[in-house]
Amino acid sequence: MACTVEFYPKSQRGSGAVSRGSDASHSGGFGVTLEELRVLMELRGAEALQKIQDSYNSTEGLCQRLKTSPTEGLSDSLAGLEKRGQVFGQNFIPPKKPKTFLQLVWEALQDVTLIILEMAAIISLALSFYQPPGEESEVCGKGTGGAEDEGEAEAGWIEGAAILLSVICVVLVTAFNDWSKEKQFRGLQSRIEQEQRFAVVRNSNVIQIPVADMVVGDVAQVKYGDLLPADGILIQGNDLKIDESSLTGESDHVRKSVDKDPMLLSDLKPLISAAVQLLDRQHSAAA
């Protein structure tokens, strides 16, 4: 059995994104601003229900403000969906800018062992080229033995250069390995995000869409074990419990219901039965 919830994108939790999204929502023609949604999703239990009642009369009233239907969901009009994305933001968190190869080289150079080797190489090179005053004349007067000593002195820089070359090789190999692993990780993460889909109601039909394509006002079907893709409000459910241990640290499952506590947060798992959720706030920072 599946129930329903209304979702809201999750990246606009910062004050800057909220203010920009709030201005955009006024021009978007919706009856609710992103700032109002942000404030609403910070409430819980009776306080949240009172806020919904005072501001929107009911969850259905909020649906009307968001121009969606609890039963039919959103229209699949591309223009309408793009408009919601522009007003409220997209349902994804922009990835952190990857480190450059030079930054990885610099981090590799911070290893204590390599720093000691670098200092030893520099000291060795400095001593190999240093010649105390008056030593040259003494060497010239020693004949063949002096020539051998002079050859050893001239080759003294090789030891320091070898140490320095070894450090450079280690740093480059370490930086390249880190760069390669980060590239593979980002590729895997991107592939997982593209494959992650969720059931939403569009034009009275239940369809599976990529999580990143969900918008504010979507009505989503939440099943047992799903990872909630965005913040939302429960509009229909049956014996729904949520694991909120990642937020509160408590192992007890929290019961959610339309008339007591309908607020659902992203990245939590339903544990019993399922629910229908209204997408209330998404995860992106671009609005």
Per-residue pLDDT of the chain (287 residues; tens, 9 = 90+): 444 555 555 554 443 333 344 444 344 678 888 888 888 888 888 888 898 888 888 888 888 888 888 888 888 888 888 888 888 888 877 778 888 999 999 999 999 999 998 898 888 888 877 666 655 555 555 544 555 555 555 666 788 888 889 999 999 999 999 999 999 988 887 787 777 888 888 988 888 888 888 888 888 888 877 788 888 888 887 778 887 777 767 767 778 888 888 888 877 666 544 455 566 655 443 32
Long-range contacts from 149-155, C-beta under 8 angstroms, 24+ separation: 153/128
Report the C-alpha gap between 219 and 19 in whole angstroms.
25
Which amino acid, one-letter code, is at 89? G
Residue 97 DSSP label = P
Report the C-alpha gap between 22 and 230 in whole angstroms.
18
- 170 touches 114 (CB < 8 A): yes
Fold type of domain 1-91+214-287: 2.70.150
pLDDT at position 281: 53
Cβ-proximal residues to 7 (8 Å cutoff; 6+ apart), any chain: 214, 216, 218, 220, 228, 229, 230, 231, 232, 277, 278, 279, 280, 281, 282
The ranges assigned to domains in the chain are 1-91+214-287, 101-194
- 238 touches 273 (CB < 8 A): yes
Q: Return the C-alpha torsion angle 272, 275, 279, 285, nearest 10.
A: 10
- 168 touches 176 (CB < 8 A): no
Burial of 194: CB neighbours in 10 Å, binned 0-12, 13-18, 19+: exposed
